[in-house]
């Protein structure tokens, strides 16, 4: 399907300005698994010129390497999503680790001689080490999550996963319109929602107050997006498009206001804690230190240069 592009010099002018659109999540090493798979194609090509046993061995070696690189690519995508978030759990499955094991086993199987298990094992171990050097390890620790009640954290993760499904449905629906500007607008709204997700991962105590936003509001946004995409893909209705964008604007403001309310509540709690602590220190006879007085600016009508101004200032301090 053709997609419409826009920019500063397009007919609709600045309306297609893509500034502020979140960049797609892509790991800097995302292209490497493809080249490793291409490098393993000799196993695939040579398999058809060997005996049945050799064919099965080479095809298995290529399949294991290709499958391992696919797992590694999935691990890189999970790591990229982990890195851009302020609060994130470690991936439940260490995909890069399993991908490295599969690729190393395929390399040892294809490069080793029949019956030479020691040599095949050494080749596989070398492939595992090279995989680790090329792609690194999976994230093994949660980021930005303090030690809390595990039940509450699991509850928050479950609700956020359900809300993420609504966002994914919105993305798939708006892509049917074939309009880059609409896709970018939905991505901006989803970025605001992701900020709320990050806050709830870090502070699941606010989950009850955000339940309506994760459920009813996002479900309504999903349903409205699906209906709009069905209508707009059949008929380019400008009024429907304007109404949909206004709907997203209002919904995004509501999500931003809710997140701001949560953050202001945290700030209020901090101010209360500081006030209580200061009262306790005052009852124990500890007075808070006063901030240092700001030095008076150097001013003089007689001094004509900076050296004269400094000299006159020091002389005035000595007379005091």
Give tens-digit pLDDT for 75-116.
Answer: 998 888 888 777 677 888 899 999 999 999 999 888 766 667
The overall pTM is greater than 0.85: no
Residues of the chain by 3-state class (helix, strand, coil), percent to 5: 70, 0, 30
Burial 223-245 (b: 16+ CB within 10 A, else e): ebbbebbeebeeeeeeeebeebb
pLDDT tens readout for residues 165-200: 999 999 999 998 888 899 999 999 998 888 888 888
CB atoms near residue 21 (< 10 Å): 15
Bridge partners of 88?
A: 143
DSSP string covering 52-120: HHHHHHHHHHHHHHHHHHHHHHHHHHHHHHHHH-SSBPPPSS-HHHHHHHHHHHHHHHHHSPTT-HHHH
Quick one: pLDDT at residue 48? 86
């Amino acid at each position: 399907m053709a997609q419409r592009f826009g920019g500063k010099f397009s007919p609709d002018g600045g309306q297609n300005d893509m500034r502020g659109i979140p960049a797609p999540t892509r790991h800097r090493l995302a292209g490497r698994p493809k080249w490793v798979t291409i490098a393993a194609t000799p196993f695939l090509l040579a398999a058809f010129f060997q005996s049945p046993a050799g064919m099965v061995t080479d095809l298995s070696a290529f399949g294991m390497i290709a499958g391992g690189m696919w797992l590694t690519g999935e691990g890189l995508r999970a790591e990229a999503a982990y890195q851009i978030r302020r609060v994130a759990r470690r991936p439940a499955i260490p995909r890069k680790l399993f991908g490295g094991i599969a690729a190393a086993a395929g390399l040892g199987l294809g490069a080793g001689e029949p019956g030479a298990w020691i040599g095949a094992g050494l080749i596989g171990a070398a492939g595992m080490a090279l995989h680790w050097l090329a792609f690194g390890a999976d994230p093994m620790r949660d980021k930005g999550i303090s030690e809390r009640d595990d039940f509450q954290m699991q509850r928050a993760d479950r609700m956020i996963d359900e809300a993420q499904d609504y966002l994914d449905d919105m993305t798939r629906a708006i892509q049917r319109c074939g309009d880059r500007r609409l896709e970018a607008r939905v991505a901006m709204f989803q970025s605001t929602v992701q900020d709320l997700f990050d806050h709830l991962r870090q502070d699941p105590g606010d989950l009850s107050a955000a339940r309506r936003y994760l459920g009813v509001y996002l479900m309504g946004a999903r349903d409205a997006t699906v209906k709009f995409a069905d209508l707009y893909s059949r008929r380019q209705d400008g009024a429907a498009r304007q109404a949909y964008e206004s709907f997203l604007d209002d919904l995004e403001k509501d999500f931003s206001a809710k997140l701001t309310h949560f953050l202001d509540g945290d700030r209020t709690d901090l101010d209360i804690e500081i006030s209580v602590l200061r009262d306790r220190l005052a009852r124990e006879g500890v007075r808070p230190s006063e901030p240092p007085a700001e030095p008076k600016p150097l001013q003089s009508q007689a001094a004509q240069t900076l050296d004269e101004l400094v000299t006159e200032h020091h002389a005035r301090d000595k007379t005091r």
